[in-house]
Chain A
Amino acid sequence: GAGVSQTPSNKVTEKGKYVELRCDPISGHTALYWYRQSLGQGPEFLIYFQGTGAADDSGLPNDRFFAVRPEGSVSTLKIQRTERGDSAVYLCASSFSLAGGNRELFFGEGSRLTVL
């Protein structure tokens, strides 16, 4: 389809393991965003890319979290040494970055991470 695609949709892992979550944005969208959402809460901002570079990574909770977008399209969120508190739905969104535009964010369905 033409929407934002996230894989895997569900991931169960054990405490201490390494996890990668992938986001494939809408073609042509130069801005890409990662959020995480815990049960009953609104989405919490993690990091925002403009092209290949991270324009704002102030939402990453600690150095176990890292994200890349090497070719300015697909992005991978990487979590090292996972902890039970990392369990959440990780949402990816993309948008156009044209000046003066609406810059509506289009969200994927999310990747549900469960750390046992």
Chain B
Amino acid sequence: DAKTTQPPSMDCAEGRAANLPCNHSTISGNEYVYWYRQIHSQGPQYIIHGLKNNETNEMASLIITEDRKSSTLILPHATLRDTAVYYCIVRVGGSARQLTFGSGTQLTVLP
């Protein structure tokens, strides 16, 4: 699975949009981009995934560049409960293989 690069930490003001970047320049054509987050003392939680089109669900939006070498996770109105480590992962679509986690981005939402 392709390697991803994320900033180690970011801050965001409560109520503002949080934009978390991820670089995956070696992504293959059959690899999806997945985002998970891990709130302190909990297990990771799935947020969203996509292949090449932008995706939106009740939690977040995922913007993938046309060349698919990078993506941005957007939390439109961050709350204090969104403070967590956010992991960007690429994995072959439809695969049941394990996810490979990096170090992620620690997002801190400030009041």
Contacts and interface: CB of A to CB of B under 8 A. Distances in A.
Interface of A: 4, 31, 33, 35, 41-45, 48, 50, 55-56, 59, 91, 93, 95, 97, 99-110
Contacts of B100: 45
B43 A41 contact: no
A31 B94 CA distance: 13
B111 to A, nearest CB: 24
Contacts, number: 58
Majority-rule SS of B interface residues: loop
B45 interface: yes
A105 B94 contact: no
Interface stretch (B13-21, B65-73, B101-109): B101-109
Contact of A42 (B45, B46, B87): B87
Contact of B43 (A45, A97, A110): A110
Q: Can you list the 7 inter-chain pairs with the closest CB atoms, starting with the nearest?
A: A107-B43, A42-B101, A104-B46, A45-B98, A97-B96, A43-B101, A48-B98
A59 B46 CA distance: 22
B98 A33 contact: yes
Interface string B14-36: 00000000000000000000001
Contacts of A100: 94
Contacts of B87: 42
Contacts of B44: 43, 91, 93, 105, 107
